[in-house]
Homo-oligomer: A and B are copies of this chain.
Amino acid sequence: MTTEGFIVLDEKTLREYIKKTPSLFSKVGSDDVDKLEVKEVGDGNLNFVYIVTSSSGSIVVKQSLPYVRCIGESWPMTKERSYFEATALKRQYGLSPKHVPEVYHFDRTMSVIGMRYIEPPHIILRKGLIAGVKYPLLAEHMAEFMANTLFYTSLLYLTTTEHKSAVAEFCGNVELCRLTEQVVFSDPYKISEFNRWTTPYLDGDAEAVRNDNILKLEVAELKSKFCEKTQALIHGDLHTGSVMVTHESTQVIDPEFAFYGPMGFDIGAFIANLLLAYFSQDGHAAQGNDRKAYKGWIMDTLADTWNLFHKKFTTLWDIHKEGPGEAYLHEIYNDVELRELVKQKYMTELFHDSLGFAAAKMIRRIVGVAHVEDFESITDPVKRADCERRALDFAKMLMKKRRNFNTITDVISAAQ
């Protein structure tokens, strides 16, 4: 398959590609490229990811093909997503360099990104959560990543000139936005060939979602915000499969869904996936490990993530209160009391947005097309359905009642 300079890489052509690309070749040393070890590790649904190793170093090369990997050419999907992923990666690396891999190389024609290899013992966070591993710095790091990437790309920091120009550019990533619109905000609420759930146990639950008018009213509001609220450059797919971790390090990858959207969509995605991990734990309990303590750690991490995010985000706002951001001009909002009122109002709306999007993300992982390994790896379907139902019921309540929650502790109490 070739279209105007685009070729699908394989192990052989990748070696040749690296050889003629100095920014990549220099990273793997001066070895004969034939001696490079090439391993395809893409476990995601959409793209191909190669780890390339020589005696002197390793890199990751990610290529997007013009279709959805896990489906095939029958589901076309612009390979231009790679451009938005590279652009977002570079921006996020600039804003939160400790938590984003550096981009070494980007080739728009080939839809190829060369980036830092996030080395072992880093693993995908979702795998760690299933295994019951605690990550003491996870909340701190994720709060930092989200606070930095969201604050600095919002009108709290940007001029409206910078903001509108960035909004316009990322409007180009509409195909990926449409995928989210479909699988998060639409399919779970109607009959769709793509939906699935733990049948027959959840048949009634899936039907109840499709018939729940209040839920559908709420999800419409969330969808409108997703489509119309250009609040910040969001990652767009910030689940626990887009985070790689060790005890000391947290790295956020795969922002190919990035665009200017509501901040709560990122925060909600991460919250949702912690809650899914939480509700799945009973399915992973075993003799001698009831996972009770681990469930406590997940909830502590959830609380810390929001609370630290809140603190870091409002601190950035304070630091830059006389900065370039045009949403709240210092000359107007210089009164101490007023600044507190303004922050409180902003953060409350953001909290409720985050809870709403979290709920939408949970629901779609239980009755929509793409499920999460947290539940999928529970082999006993009765047990799995039981965990999923509790998650689903909680998510439905959360979406409807999100405005009644004032603190993340209240949310956690409701889940326990």
Contacts and interface: CB of A to CB of B under 8 A. Distances in A.
Q: Across chains A and B, which 6 residue pairs bring their CB atoms closest together, nearest first?
A: A168-B171, A168-B168, A164-B171, A164-B174, A190-B331, A213-B338
Number of identical protomers: 2
A75 to B, nearest CB: 16
Bin the interface of chain A by size.
35 or more
A342 B217 contact: yes
Interface in A166-209: 167-169, 171-172, 174, 177-178, 181, 186, 189-191
A228 B167 CA distance: 10
A332 B326 CA distance: 39
A216 interface: yes
Interface stretch (A117-125, A155-163, A272-280, A283-291): A155-163
B227 A228 contact: no
A63 interface: no
A335 interface: yes
Contacts of A228: 155, 229-231
A165 interface: yes
21 contacts: A160-B177, A160-B181, A161-B178, A164-B174, A165-B171, A165-B174, A171-B171, A189-B332, A213-B337, A213-B338, A216-B342, A217-B341, A217-B342, A217-B345, A220-B327, A220-B328, A221-B345, A223-B327, A224-B327, A228-B230, A229-B230
A135 interface: no
Interface string A4-17: 00000000000000
Given A228-B155, A230-B230, A216 B333 contact: yes
A41 interface: no
A65 to B, nearest CB: 21
A211 B210 CA distance: 49
A316 to B, nearest CB: 17
A186 B326 CA distance: 10
Given A160-B181, A165-B174, A229-B230, 4 more contacts: A164-B171, A167-B171, A213-B337, A217-B338
A131 interface: no
A70 to B, nearest CB: 23
A171 B171 CA distance: 10
A304 B172 CA distance: 40
Interface in A217-276: 217, 220-221, 223-224, 227-231
A220 B177 contact: no
Contacts of A213: 335, 337-338, 341
B331 A160 contact: no
Q: Which of A168, A169, A342 has the most CB of B within 10 A?
A: A168
A160 to B, nearest CB: 6
Contacts of A186: 329, 332
Given A155-B228, A342-B217, A164 B177 contact: yes
B160 A178 contact: yes
Nearest to A188: B332
Interface in A291-310: none
A266 to B, nearest CB: 16
A332 to B, nearest CB: 5
Given A177-B160, A213-B338, A155 B227 contact: yes
A230 B68 CA distance: 29
Nearest to A177: B160
Interface centre among A169, A189, A326 (most CB of B within 10 A): A326
A217 B335 CA distance: 12
A12 to B, nearest CB: 37
Given A164-B171, A165-B171, A168-B168, A342 B220 contact: yes
A24 B236 CA distance: 49
B216 A332 contact: yes
B190 A332 contact: yes
A149 to B, nearest CB: 17
